[in-house]
Amino acid sequence: MGDRALLTDFYELTMAAGYFDRGKAGDTATFDLYFRQNPFHGGYAIAAGLEFAVRDILETRFEREDTLFLSGMRTSRGTPVFSDGFLQYLREYCFRGSIRAMPEGSVCFSSEPLVQVTGNLIECQMVESILLCHVNFQTLVATKAARMWEASSRGSIVEFGMRRAHGPDGAVSASRAAYIGGAEATSNVLASRLFGVPARGTQAHSWVQSFPSEMDAFRDYARTFPDDCVLLVDTYDVLESGLPNAIATGRELENSGHRLLGIRIDSGDLAFLSQRARERLDQAGLGYVKIIVSNELDEYLISEIMAEGGRIDVWGIGTKLVTGDGADGAALGGVYKMVEHNGRPKIKLSNNPVKTTNPGAKRVMRFYNSQGLMEADAVGAASEELSEAEVLIIDPHNPLRRKRLGESQRSEMLQTVVTDGRLVSDPPSLEEIRKRRKHQLDHLHESYKRLRNPHEYKVGLSLQLWEQKERLLNPRMA
């Protein structure tokens, strides 16, 4: 699909035209991308989608056909929406601003900036839709995958979701994000080719149905794939038919010098069936045969099946991984808000304190405790060092809640990704991103990972940033 420059909300273009028309093309600005609630009412999120967003932002060029289309747009009076001057501006447009961001795979939290964009007002505004689109979606799916990975005691998660994904390209993005968050393979062949994610697959019920008997179907599959044979055992009856036939096929494979790789159970009581299957496979000397389960799984079902003693080697997960399937909607509600304009901090007020923005360009410092576990994130002004022995942080939604962070290890969370429209380095590989996710989750206490009512991780403003917000909230008191 060409025309990527038009992948934007119409209001980005009308606002840009307005800024251009009203002589504000030279204004500067900083915008924060952040979310107000962790997805799935959870204790954390896994940042993802940045590479796609930055690629699209840096590659945006308005080609002739794009501006031709825009030049044909009409107001309700029939006059052109966009002036020739603005269309010429678009023809010469490319993003020349700067981007700082938490690297993909980072553990991150609500109320702190994941991405910060600085540049001229028009370019900062124009990148909004595409940036939010990639980061919201991939962060949602990466977080979902991480929750499933943790719920399965860091087991094997395979993403199977293409058929329920939001269009084929949504499926490809979802495969990447799921891999970042904790899946180890995908059923999506294109995602495998594009990103190097291992491809996996078993078989559909239609395979079994197309043979005179289940045994014929299993035997023939094993003949074609003697070393990668996973048999779907629930077309007729798992315990009465599928499992005995799979065991017979496993024995035949052994006799010809191969090993049955696994069986897949796609319906029924997965905890119970997996236990029975494990027993019978073991009794048959097929202890090496893996048990793969699927069927509308999510992290809650995984954790219940684990608690009930299910004997699962691989979790095949589709719908609820690639769509996010959150209790608060299948979307991460990331927003992108102006926090500075022409060097001055800006605030957006709201009756709801959570919706009042935190003004000013920022840095984010993560503090660790003496056990090396994450303790709190301090959001300070970009100009602050945050290197004092003791740093006070203040809950932006309730200034009565304050915390002193002592001497400890700390790390800067926002890294420079783009300066003056250029990437400062090649984006990290997916393997590096996966390592970062694992490493950071290793340093996050279990209480933040609970599926229900997790401990609330502390993210606070530095005193300087808080006082600045207070001045903007109460201008007469300043």
Q: Considering beta carbons, is residue 201 or 443 the nearer one to a second copy?
A: 201
C-alpha 82: how far from chain center: 36
Q: Which of 210, 283, 383, 411 is close enough to bind a second copy by CB under 8 A?
A: 210
Contact window for a second copy (CB under 8 A) among 19-27, 105-113, 393-401, 460-468: 19-27
* DSSP-assigned states of every residue in 192-224: HHHH-PPB-----HHHHHTSSSHHHHHHHHHHH
Nearest-angstrom CA–CA distance, 472 and 349: 9
Positions 320 through 349 that interact with a second copy (CB under 8 A) = 320, 322-325, 329-334, 336-338, 341, 346-349
Give residue 456's region: left, alpha or beta (phi > 0; psi -120 to 50). Answer: beta
Q: Which of 3, 84, 304, 420 is close enough to bind a second copy by CB under 8 A?
A: 3
Q: Does 353 bind a second copy (CB under 8 A)?
A: no
> Count residues contacting a second copy (CB under 8 A)?
112
Distance of closest approach, residue 371 Cβ to a second copy, in angstroms: 38
Distances (CA, A) of 261 to 153, 222, 228, 271, 290: 22, 10, 6, 20, 6
Least Cα distance to 105 among 448, 409, 442 occurs for 442
Q: Considering beta carbons, is residue 212 or 307 the nearer one to a second copy?
A: 212
Distance of closest approach, residue 95 Cβ to a second copy, in angstroms: 16
Position 124, amino acid: C
Distance of closest approach, residue 309 Cβ to a second copy, in angstroms: 22
Positions 59 through 118 that interact with a second copy (CB under 8 A) = 69-70, 73, 75-77, 79, 81
Residues in contact with 3: Cβ distance below 8 Å, sequence separation at least 6, in sequence order: 63, 65, 66, 69
Nearest-angstrom CA–CA distance, 304 and 456: 23
User: C-alpha angle with apex 296: 294 to 298, nearest 5 degrees?
Assistant: 95
Distance of closest approach, residue 71 Cβ to a second copy, in angstroms: 12
Q: Does 29 bind a second copy (CB under 8 A)?
A: yes
Q: Which of 26, 94, 209, 283 is close enough to bind a second copy by CB under 8 A?
A: 209
Positions 48 through 67 that interact with a second copy (CB under 8 A) = 52, 56
Is there a contact between 419 and 117 (Cβ–Cβ < 8 Å)?
no
Positions 211 through 270 that interact with a second copy (CB under 8 A) = 220-221, 223-225, 227-228, 235-237, 261, 267-268
